[in-house]
Amino acid sequence: MSQGQRLAVLLERVSGIVFPEREIPRLTMLGEERARINGFADLTSYVQALYRDSESAEWRELLSLVTVKESSLFRGARQFEVLVQNIIPKLLARGRRTIRIWSAGCARGEEPATLAVVLSECDKLRPGGWEVLGTDVDESALDVARRAIFSKRSVRKVPQPLLDRYFVPSGEQFELAQGLRANIRYRFLNLVSTPYVDLEPGPLFDVIFLRNVLIYFREKSQVRVLAEMAQMLAPDGALFVGPSESLWQISPQFLTEDHHGCFVHRVRMPSIPQPSGIPSAEFATPHPSGLSRREAVGTQAIGQDIELDVFKRSPRDLALQAVKRADFDGAAEILALDSGGEEDPIIYALKGVLAERDGRHEDALRAFRAASYLDSRLFQVRFMMASCLEGSGWVKRAQAEYRAIFSLLKSGLESELPSAELLALPTRLEVEEYCRQTL
């Protein structure tokens, strides 16, 4: 193996970036030049020094020289449209006050600056109701990003009215307005150094932009990075990758949504309710009594005295009635056979509680996710979901959830699950105390 090839192997190990064979002559020349600048006798001793000290200042220089930072503001503009028109309104409707976005592999700040502009233009967001974190492995690029000054070429795709509104011209360059810069932070992060323990604690990200970075990695690194991204993204959040990148067959953690050719990736774990109106086979099978199975089970569960009610009452009421009589099996059966109520968070919450009682933790987690997706104020549901997540090893997500529950309780906007006492659910005080101690 030549020293150039050795350098390529080392660089891939540290940064994840793959250097194909055709790049080796360029890398060899670069290594020789760096060896000379740093006073090494030859490329061999330079490469050896890099091997010995992965924290050296030379690494910073070298990574800056080998990473591709091709970018511009409003690159892939359609993704920003989908973000503002589709993703953000849904997050706000679910009670978000501040939208947290992570630009991973942010180069010299072009993507964070674009996000700052489009988020400032989004009239659904309260002023300053957003924050952007930009990270990169190239410290020099981050220094440039912090200055927020862009060349004429970088801003060429920015619509003129936005350029006039949010940038201060200075000669041939354009400086992002101070007010926008205040909501952007930059940090060093090497994406292949998983897990991301150094990334600041805080709520999970609502949106992650990981564009035009994975293309430089081998599949093994892509898989690792995406698994970590799934941990960092809120359950109802969205991941954008570059137009030439696909998660097809490399990331079981994500589902892909097609917004007229613009792909948005969602964490697969949450069980988003099925579209309504699809009768289940069981529900359609007539019961010997002539009642449908749901009605028949409901009748058995609630007794003869209110048999006529069965046609008027929702499965949710029937299940709650059963819970009140401590007939948990009956309640579970009503809910298991119910094919309606897909939009009812209480149904999912009950399903979750009953599944948890039976030790069906995965079913419980799925149901709690759906319930809290439909009503994020149900603090007991979110608390049980966090416990399930913790039990399944999703520690970061669980912690983020405990943090979110704590804020929810502080805001006073929480709501209690009906029959919480009968279901032996934790009280508001207990949940608050637990979160306080855990965080």
Ligand X SMILES: C[S@@+](CC[C@H](N)C(=O)[O-])C[C@H]1O[C@@H](n2cnc3c(N)ncnc32)[C@H](O)[C@@H]1O
Please report, as ranges, the residues that interact with ligand X according to CB under 6 A: 15-17, 67-71, 75, 105-107, 110-111, 136-138, 141, 189-192, 211-213, 216, 242
> d(Cα 406, Cα 383) in Å, to the nearest integer?
10
> d(Cα 150, Cα 140) in Å, to the nearest integer?
15
Sheet (strand 254-259) strand order: 184-188, 130-136, 99-104, 205-210, 233-241, 262-267, 254-259
Find the DSSP H helices in 167-216.
Answer: 178-181
Q: How far is the CB of 189 from ligand X (least distance, A)?
A: 6
> d(Cα 42, Cα 39) in Å, to the nearest integer?
9
> d(Cα 225, Cα 132) in Å, to the nearest integer?
20
62 versus 381: smaller Cβ distance to ligand X = 62
> d(Cα 382, Cα 413) in Å, to the nearest integer?
14
The sign of the dihedral angle between the CA atoms of 5, 10, 12, 13 is: positive
214 versus 364: smaller Cβ distance to ligand X = 214
141 versus 353: smaller Cβ distance to ligand X = 141
Q: How far is the CB of 400 from ligand X (least distance, A)?
A: 22
The conformation of residue 274, written as its DSSP 8-state character, comes to P
Q: How far is the CB of 176 from ligand X (least distance, A)?
A: 16
Q: How far is the CB of 70 from ligand X (least distance, A)?
A: 5
75 versus 396: smaller Cβ distance to ligand X = 75
Q: How far is the CB of 243 from ligand X (least distance, A)?
A: 9
> d(Cα 285, Cα 429) in Å, to the nearest integer?
45
13 versus 287: smaller Cβ distance to ligand X = 13
111 versus 236: smaller Cβ distance to ligand X = 111
Q: How far is the CB of 116 from ligand X (least distance, A)?
A: 14
> d(Cα 32, Cα 47) in Å, to the nearest integer?
10
